[in-house]
């Protein structure tokens, strides 16, 4: 049995099942598989095989089962045998939220682990965040310094116990301990009670979690939240919060069944939820945003802390603005000085940084936006046709960096690393390459990178390929996005081409210009651009991505006569200078970007400041405004023209209608809603026309703009009635966090074709 079958209590599960059914034999780990030798009458073996699949532990994921007859063998009952040697290519389990059994135990006054903040078992607790090597044994984790007491050793060695071979097993007598530090000095008394008291009094504290530190404060206290923003230099970006339970959550957000299921799942992500009107929260928690990023407690420490404070807490990554999350104790003491009033920590080291995963429910499914704690490094099976593909290392892009390893028909997408324009993220990127290679014994036969030669990931990939004498395979940015959606949805190599709708920020196209709103004809090895959004000049280059008014000016100048452009839109801004730059062709690269189109509409509606304080600020505000419009409001039409052999989607009619509506006093929410509906209709219709012309058998949707739930809902509503399969990212992020997964699929397919 292969898949996630190690470190999840699978062998003791098999042992208990065999004893229950009267099966004799043995179970053992062999490399990255579990091997079972079973002897029983045929009908019992059939029941045993069926129960192995139907009753597997909650964290297990069986991908393949190979079953063969065996010669008779000697056995006396059923045993758990020692692990056999073999290569472990993938299979370390992600860190898992506290299970109901352990939660009940820490709440039981007579239990040995009552109120113990590090309680765990084979069904929950830290995994990837503590692993330093394989095989996954206590000696190769950050728990090796905590020697088991007699009672824990008994639990650890008993196959009937739920803590059998649970490597992080601990109790108050032998495990990690909490400490509260203020000004570098330990505070006497109960650290948790002292921390809770300070939080309720308005303090800002760092809290050590599974994959790093959070910064916490009372989410109902405006003075505390505003002070946190001031100290962290984070003026408007929404802050995540943690709630104690469903009762507390229902006071703040409207929650659908699928959303509650996701919150309570083993990965316990931050989930984007619609806030209720009048929710009793600090106004500056998520200013101007109808969505809140909410999570439930996922460690015993968090459960105990939330019960003690009995109010929602801000739980944001502990870092200085733009830098990666802090995860080492000394870094927390030094790096958070001046930001937090104290640190609630403990003495169990964290092996690697893991940001919280972020997701939302959109178009009827859970969509991962950031893959981190609780999800990484679970491998994903590639479509069956990739089973013989060579091993590939893909290094992703510049933003939302993640790497991906493939081997034996599986792909292992790393946790979120961050943006590579930060020096500390560059260090994390280098560490991850070495860490994953060593941990999973990965020996790539090729390196895959983005086509952009100036991406740090591309330069590093070129260097690795040269050092190791390996092929370097460049993959166009949006081809990788579409290939990721294809591979995640099981599209076979020989299943034929699909039509891809790639709506994104910016990525280097095959013609040397910036792409980001494309209709592509794709299989895994090739991609052909069939249609695009009309290109506009980005005055100032990359600066335009941070200053949406520049993009608005270019769009309006290309769409309306000068006398019809409201002059107040650019009051106090150097519009004349930009127009001169565009006229002379000075630092004005052309781009067909959906991300910049959404930014420009946000600027038209007054939702974007002259300079954004974080990526996505304008687009998030625009989506929230569109979602707030009651009912349906029609759509803005786009034009379609032939240009240089491409079908070009022309936004000029949309801009003329939107400016007219704005001048006529139409509510901004209605304009935002019509814009979303118009974009979806224009690209859906272009994709359907292409599918009919080229006989494509599926439609794939990807790119960072696809994380906009309003847009995605419109697209699915337009495309689903055709009956063509829709390949949409779910567990693999649609944004650049999933880019490496697509690069692996493209590179592997090209290598198989050679």
pLDDT digits (tens, 9 = 90+) for 444-468: 999 999 999 999 999 999 999 999 9
Alpha-carbon distance of 268 to 430, in angstroms, equals: 28
Tell whether 317 and 418 lie within a shared domain: no
How many separate domains does the chain show? 4
Tell whether 717 and 743 lie within a shared domain: no
Alpha-carbon distance of 516 to 78, in angstroms, equals: 58
Residue 94 domain flag:
no
Alpha-carbon distance of 738 to 404, in angstroms, equals: 9
Tell whether 433 and 474 lie within a shared domain: yes
Tell whether 591 and 675 lie within a shared domain: yes
381 in Cβ contact with 410 (< 8 Å) = yes
Residue 580 CA, distance from chain mean position = 41
The residue count of the chain comes to 754
Tell whether 394 and 318 lie within a shared domain: no
Residue 104 contacts by C-beta under 8 Å, 6 or more apart in sequence? none
For residue 61, which of 6, 16, 126, 128 has the smallest C-alpha distance? 6
List for the chain the helix, strand, coil content (%; round to 5).
Answer: 35, 20, 45
Mind telling me the catalytic residues? 11, 29
From residue 39, give the alpha-carbon distance in Å to each of 21, 45, 53, 147. 11, 7, 18, 38
| Partner residues linked to 38 by β-bridges | 25
User: Does the bond joining 377 to the residue before it have cis omega, within 30 degrees of 0?
Assistant: yes
744 in Cβ contact with 448 (< 8 Å) = yes
374 in Cβ contact with 267 (< 8 Å) = yes
Mean pLDDT for all residues in the chain: 94
Alpha-carbon distance of 224 to 312, in angstroms, equals: 13
Note the pLDDT of residue 87: 45
Terminal Cα-to-Cα distance of the chain (whole angstroms) = 31
112 in Cβ contact with 171 (< 8 Å) = yes
Both structure tokens of 635: 């759509």
| Domain around 719 | 514-521+531-727
Residue 675's Cβ-side half-sphere holds a number of Cα atoms within 13 Å equal to 33
Residue 493 domain flag:
no
Domain boundary among 27, 50, 80: 80
Alpha-carbon distance of 525 to 479, in angstroms, equals: 9
Alpha-carbon distance of 289 to 302, in angstroms, equals: 26
What CATH number did the domain enclosing 64 receive?
A: 3.30.70.100
From residue 725, give the alpha-carbon distance in Å to each of 485, 608, 699, 729, 749. 12, 36, 6, 13, 22
Q: What is the pLDDT of residues 694-711, one digit of tens each?
A: 999 999 999 999 999 999
Note the pLDDT of residue 732: 98
Note the pLDDT of residue 251: 96
Tell whether 254 and 394 lie within a shared domain: no
Tell whether 740 and 719 lie within a shared domain: no
Which stretches of 605-725 are DSSP H helices? 617-627, 652-663, 668-694, 709-719
Alpha-carbon distance of 690 to 498, in angstroms, equals: 10
Note the pLDDT of residue 92: 74
Alpha-carbon distance of 220 to 159, in angstroms, equals: 46
Note the pLDDT of residue 236: 92
Mean pLDDT for each 10-residue chunk of the chain (754 residues)?
82 93 92 89 94 87 88 88 58 88 98 98 94 85 97 94 93 98 94 98 97 98 98 94 97 96 96 94 92 97 98 94 88 94 97 96 97 94 93 97 94 96 92 93 96 97 98 98 98 97 97 96 97 96 95 97 93 96 96 97 96 93 94 93 91 98 97 98 98 97 98 98 97 98 98 92
From residue 610, give the alpha-carbon distance in Å to each of 32, 158, 555, 621. 53, 64, 16, 14
3-class state of residue 35 by DSSP:
strand
Residue 610 domain flag:
yes
Tell whether 263 and 412 lie within a shared domain: no
Alpha-carbon distance of 266 to 99, in angstroms, equals: 8
Note the pLDDT of residue 85: 55
Backbone φ and ψ of 458, nearest 5°: -65, -40
Domain boundary among 65, 80, 95: 80
Tell whether 607 and 669 lie within a shared domain: yes
Tell whether 306 and 187 lie within a shared domain: yes
Domain boundary among 325, 346, 367: 346
Instruction: For helices 739-753 and 477-488, give the axis angle rounded to 10 degrees.
Output: 90
Note the pLDDT of residue 90: 43
Residue 547 domain flag:
yes
Residue 435 CA, distance from chain mean position = 19
Dihedral over Cα of 153, 154, 158, 163: its sign: negative
For residue 191, which of 384, 343, 1 has the smallest C-alpha distance? 343
Residue 318's Cβ-side half-sphere holds a number of Cα atoms within 13 Å equal to 36
Alpha-carbon distance of 683 to 716, in angstroms, equals: 11
3-class DSSP string for 113-150: CCCCCCCCECCEECCCCCECCCCCCHHHECCCCCCCCH
Tell whether 556 and 445 lie within a shared domain: no
Both structure tokens of 691: 């599918």
Residue with tokens 């040269």: 466
Residue 722 domain flag:
yes
Dihedral over Cα of 543, 545, 549, 552: its sign: positive
What's the whole-model pTM score?
A: 0.94
Both structure tokens of 591: 């781009």
Residue 270 CA, distance from chain mean position = 10
Tell whether 192 and 316 lie within a shared domain: yes
Alpha-carbon distance of 99 to 524, in angstroms, equals: 40
């Amino acid at each position: 049995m292969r898949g996630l079958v190690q470190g999840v209590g699978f062998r003791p599960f098999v042992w208990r099942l065999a004893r229950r059914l009267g099966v004799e034999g043995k179970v053992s780990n062999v490399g990255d598989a579990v091997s079972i030798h079973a002897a029983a009458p045929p009908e019992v073996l059939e029941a045993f095989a069926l129960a192995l699949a139907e009753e597997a532990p909650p964290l297990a994921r069986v991908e393949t089962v190979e079953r063969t007859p065996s010669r008779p063998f000697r056995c006396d009952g059923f045993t758990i045998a020692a692990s056999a040697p073999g290569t472990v290519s993938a299979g370390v389990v992600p860190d898992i939220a506290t299970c109901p059994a352990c939660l009940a135990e820490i709440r039981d006054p007579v239990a040995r682990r009552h109120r113990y903040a590090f309680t765990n078992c084979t069904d929950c607790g830290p995994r990837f965040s503590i692993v330093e090597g394989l095989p996954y044994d206590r000696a190769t984790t950050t728990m090796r310094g905590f020697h088991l007491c007699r009672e824990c050793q008994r639990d650890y060695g008993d196959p009937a116990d739920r803590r059998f071979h649970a490597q992080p097993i601990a109790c108050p007598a032998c495990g990690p301990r909490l400490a509260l530090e203020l000004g570098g000095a330990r505070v006497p008394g109960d650290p948790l009670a002292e921390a809770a008291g300070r939080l309720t009094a308005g303090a800002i504290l760092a809290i050590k979690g599974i994959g790093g530190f959070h910064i916490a404060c009372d989410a109902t206290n405006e003075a505390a939240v505003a002070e946190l923003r001031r100290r962290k230099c984070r003026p408007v970006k929404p802050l995540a919060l943690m709630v104690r339970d469903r009762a507390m959550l229902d006071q703040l957000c409207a929650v659908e069944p699928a959303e509650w299921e996701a919150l309570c799942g083993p990965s316990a992500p931050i989930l984007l939820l619609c806030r209720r009107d009048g929710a009793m929260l600090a106004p500056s928690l998520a200013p101007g945003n109808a969505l809140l990023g909410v999570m439930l407690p996922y460690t015993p420490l968090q459960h105990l802390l939330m019960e003690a404070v009995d109010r929602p807490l801000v739980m944001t990554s502990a870092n200085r603005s733009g830098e990666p999350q802090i995860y080492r104790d000394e870094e927390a003491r030094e790096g958070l000085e001046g930001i937090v009033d104290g640190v609630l920590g403990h003495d169990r080291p964290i092996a690697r940084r893991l940001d919280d995963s972020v997701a939302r429910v959109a178009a009827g499914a859970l969509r991962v936006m950031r893959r981190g704690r609780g999800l990484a490094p679970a491998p994903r099976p590639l479509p069956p046709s990739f089973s013989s593909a060579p091993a590939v290392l893909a290094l992703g892009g510049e933003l939302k960096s993640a790497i991906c390893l493939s081997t034996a028909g599986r792909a292992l997408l790393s946790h979120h690393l961050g943006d590579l324009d930060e020096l500390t993220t560059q260090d994390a990127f280098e560490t991850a390459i070495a860490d994953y290679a060593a941990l999973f014994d990965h020996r790539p036969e090729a390196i895959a990178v983005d086509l952009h030669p100036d991406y740090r990931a591309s330069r590093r990939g070129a260097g690795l390929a040269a050092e190791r004498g390996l092929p370097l395979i460049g993959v166009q940015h949006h081809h990788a996005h579409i290939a990721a959606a294809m591979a995640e949805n099981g599209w076979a190599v020989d299943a034929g081409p699909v039509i891809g709708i790639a709506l994104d920020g910016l990525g280097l196209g095959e013609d040397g210009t910036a792409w980001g709103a494309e209709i592509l004809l794709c299989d895994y090895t090739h991609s052909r651009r069939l249609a695009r959004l009309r290109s506009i000049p980005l005055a100032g280059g990359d600066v335009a991505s941070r200053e949406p008014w520049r993009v608005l000016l270019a769009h309006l100048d290309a769409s309306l006569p000068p006398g019809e452009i409201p002059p107040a839109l650019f009051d106090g801004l150097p519009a004349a200078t930009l127009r001169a730059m565009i006229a002379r062709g000075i630092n004005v690269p052309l781009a067909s970007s959906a991300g910049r189109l959404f930014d420009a509409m946000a600027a038209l509606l007054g939702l974007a400041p002259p300079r954004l304080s974080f990526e996505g600020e304008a687009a998030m505000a625009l989506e929230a405004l569109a979602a707030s419009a009651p009912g349906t409001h029609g759509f803005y039409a786009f034009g379609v023209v032939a240009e240089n052999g491409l079908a070009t989607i022309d936004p000029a009619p949309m801009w003329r209608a939107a400016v007219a509506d704005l001048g006529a006093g139409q509510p901004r929410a209605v304009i935002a809603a019509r814009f979303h509906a118009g974009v979806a209709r224009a690209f859906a219709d272009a994709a359907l026309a292409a599918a009919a012309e080229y006989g494509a058998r599926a439609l794939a949707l990807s790119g960072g703009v696809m994380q906009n739930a309003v847009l995605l809902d419109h697209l699915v509503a337009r495309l689903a009635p055709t009956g063509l399969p829709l390949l949409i990212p779910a567990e693999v992020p649609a944004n650049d966090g999933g880019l490496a997964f697509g690069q692996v699929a493209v590179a592997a397919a090209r290598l198989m074709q050679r």
